[in-house]
Chain A
Amino acid sequence: MISAEFTGIIIMLIGMYALMTKENLIKLVLSINVVSIGLVLFFIGTGYIEGGDVPILPRSTVVDPLPATLMLTTLVVDVAITSLALALVLKIRREEE
């Protein structure tokens, strides 16, 4: 079966393809979000262990919790950047009118 890391990288490439082909500024912001979603999936995949359980302590095989925590931070950065980029798009539109 296809692994989560591999899927993540494919999604990142789809996002990059959109960045190369879409002219609409809002679509560009969305495609950068697609890249970030692919990245999150890649990271979650790196922490996955076959048959692993939720990482709460008295269990023998658990998934690695660190990548998931790191991705929480990245998602926060994403939210901040997306709002900033959308605000900039609004300002650019207003400047043109």
Chain B
Amino acid sequence: MIPLLVASPLLFAFIISLLPALGKEKLSKYLFLIGAFSPWLFISSIVQKLPLGEVVGGWERISGIEVMVDSYSLPFLVAELLLFTFVAVYVYGDYYPKKSENKVYGILLLLHSGLLGAFISRDLFNYYIYMEIASVSSFALVAISKEKGAKKAAFRYALFSLLASYIFILAIGIIYLKTGYLNLFLIKENLVFSKEINVALVLAFSSLILKSGVFPLHFWLPDAHSKADAPISALLSGLVVKAPAYGMILLILTFPISTLMQNILIITAFLSMFFGIAMALIQKNSERLLAYHTVSQMGYVLLGIGLLNPLAAAYYAMAHSLFKGGLFLSVGTIAEHYGTRDLEKLSYRHNKFLMVAIALLSLAIGGISPFIGAFGKFMLVKEIDGLLKYVFYAGGIGTLTSFIKLNYYLLKRGEKVPFPFKKEVVSLSVGLLTLITGIYFYPHLQLVRDLSFIFIGFVLFYILKKLGLFEFQLSPFFPDTGSKLGREINVYMLFLGAFLLFILFNSIH
């Protein structure tokens, strides 16, 4: 039953790619919709029997590939299915021109099945293969965008993601060499902890941190996520970066993690949170602002992993998928119809639907109850105490300030541009969904705390505005010309190598 979840979108992706040869390209959009929605048929019967595991093909565990749906993978699966459904509705129809439509639908379905496959797998190599299917489709989807520099962003994303994958397989190889298994249950049963396993874990965590776009290995993310088209950005930020996070959850469920490693993860998580917020505050480009918030929010997910609280990480990842996907869809709709991504020129004032949607989603990302963000933060903060708790809340206030800035710019009067009704409805439904799921999971109101957070956010926004931070222009580290792309990749590769060496030397002693 579980493998069908992955197989059905994969089958439809295959059929769609055959259609041009048969001369029936008109059918591709209907098949896309069927393929995108088909996993819903299976998930409903799976949910009733949790936790449910099976070995594909009925082989023995030692010679087969194991898949499983349990309380750790369910939030990822549900988020994937919900967000992909919204994106499918958004893209369906005339979003892409007739000429490239067929290819985009095929790649989108591949991405769909790749993500679902990664989220159910309990076998290291199988996990890598599905994550790679999702990454390769996302390189192609970034490159489809007409935005200037999208091809370069896709190339840079491809190279770094690929190198990270190879480092990850090297880690899998070391684990296989030492334990003799790829199945995570068998590894856990037969594990004898040694120095080699420790090296493998460090390599695996570093590569997954790169792939999930956490500071300091985030350099490919802002470009790739901000140059893509709106629905593609929603998928990239909402879902593709979650696949590596799920891999990290699998690792902490299987291997004993040393305190030193835990501390490195927690420090990285906090650095990522604040770096993302600081960079988001000075962005002028609406999509780049959201992309830097992904760096910051992935820090929260990594924090859950570092605290060895996989359930909190999983639920925060689900929350982030919903509100960040919704934000990219709604802000992206405005940006697309204005024909610019410059925050100064955009406005949602004349459109009630998008106004409500963005306001709801901004509250959700700020962690205001009873939205889903509050539930994610509640799960995380349970394990933190002392000074770190205040640092954690400061992160929430920073996020709120940045979104007050976004709403402030969007509230300005702009020229009236009509938006298609479908896109408005999709954005608003994601916004309402963050509210509904929030009430379902965590029906508590913390009015005093939340209102004071919003108040501090406004004060902070006012101070920063007076200080002129929002007019501050950060000159790009690398000029946006193609001939420098090679140089840029060299520098980041050098940095990645230094990071790997540093973290290896520090964690082996």
Which residues of A are at the interface with B, using a C-beta cutoff of 8 A?
A: 5, 9, 12, 16, 19-25, 28-29, 32, 35-36, 39, 42-43, 46, 66-67, 70, 73-74, 77, 80-81, 84-85, 88-89, 91-93, 95-96
A16 vs chain B, min Cβ distance (A)? 6
A/B interface sample: 11 pairs, CB < 8 A: A23-B486, A25-B485, A36-B166, A39-B166, A67-B176, A81-B136, A88-B139, A89-B155, A92-B482, A95-B148, A96-B483
- State the CA gap A67–B482 with chains docked (Å): 39
- Are B162 and A19 within 8 A (Cβ)? no
CB < 8 Å neighbour of B489 from A5, A9, A28, A36:
A28
Residues of A within 8 A of B169 (CB): 39, 43, 74
Q: Are B485 and A32 in contact (CB under 8 A)?
A: no
Q: Are A88 and B151 in contact (CB under 8 A)?
A: yes
Assembly CA distance A32 to B316 (angstroms): 34
Q: How far apart are the CA atoms of A86 and B159 in the complex, in Å?
A: 11
Q: CB of B487 within 8 A of chain A? A: yes
Q: Which A-B residue pairs are the 7 nearest by beta carbons?
A: A23-B486, A19-B493, A88-B155, A96-B482, A20-B493, A91-B151, A46-B177
Q: What residues make up the interface of B, taking CB atoms closer than 8 Å to A?
A: 125, 129, 132, 136, 139-140, 143, 148, 151-152, 154-155, 158-159, 162-163, 166, 169-170, 173, 176-177, 182, 482-483, 485-487, 489-490, 493-494, 497
The verdict on A77 contacting B136 (CB below 8 Å), with A88-B143, A88-B154 known, is: yes
Q: Please pick, from B132, B173, B486, the residue contacting A28 in the complex, using a CB distance under 8 A.
A: B486
Give the nearest-CB partner of A25 in chain B: B486
Decide if B155 touches A85 in the complex (CB within 8 Å): yes
Q: Which of B125, B136, B152, B494 contacts A70 (CB 8 A)?
A: B125
Q: In the complex, what residues of A have CB within 8 A of residue B163's CB?
A: 16, 19, 32, 35
Q: Is the CB of B154 within 8 A of A16?
A: no
CA A24 to CA B154, docked complex, whole Å: 16
The complex places the Cα of A23 from the Cα of B129 at a distance, in Å, of 29
Residue of B nearest to A82 (CB): B162
Q: Which residue of B lies closest to A32 (CB)?
A: B162
Whether B139 lies near A12 (C-beta < 8 A) is no
Residue of A nearest to B154 (CB): A88
Complex alpha-carbon distance, A40 and B162, angstroms:
14
- The residue among B148, B154, B162, B497 with the most chain A CB atoms within 10 A of its own CB is B162
The CA-CA distance from A85 to B136 in the complex, in Å, is: 10
Distance (whole angstroms) from the CB of B167 to the closest CB of chain A: 9
Q: Is the CB of B151 within 8 A of A95?
A: yes
Which residues of A sit under 8 angstroms from B148, Cβ to Cβ?
Answer: 95
Smallest CB separation, A92 vs chain B (Å) = 5
Q: Are B151 and A20 in contact (CB-based, < 8 A)?
A: no
Determine if B490 and A23 form an interchain contact, defined as CB atoms under 8 angstroms apart. Answer: yes
**A28-B159, A70-B125, A88-B158 are contacts. A19–B490 as well, Cβ < 8 Å?**
yes
Q: Which B residues lie within 8 Å of A43 (CB)?
A: 169, 173
Q: How far is the CA of A12 from the CA of B342 in the complex (A)?
A: 42
Interface contacts beyond A39-B166, A81-B158: sample of 14 additional A-B pairs, CB < 8 Å, sorted by A: A9-B170, A12-B170, A16-B497, A19-B493, A20-B494, A28-B486, A35-B163, A35-B166, A39-B173, A67-B173, A77-B136, A84-B139, A92-B155, A92-B485
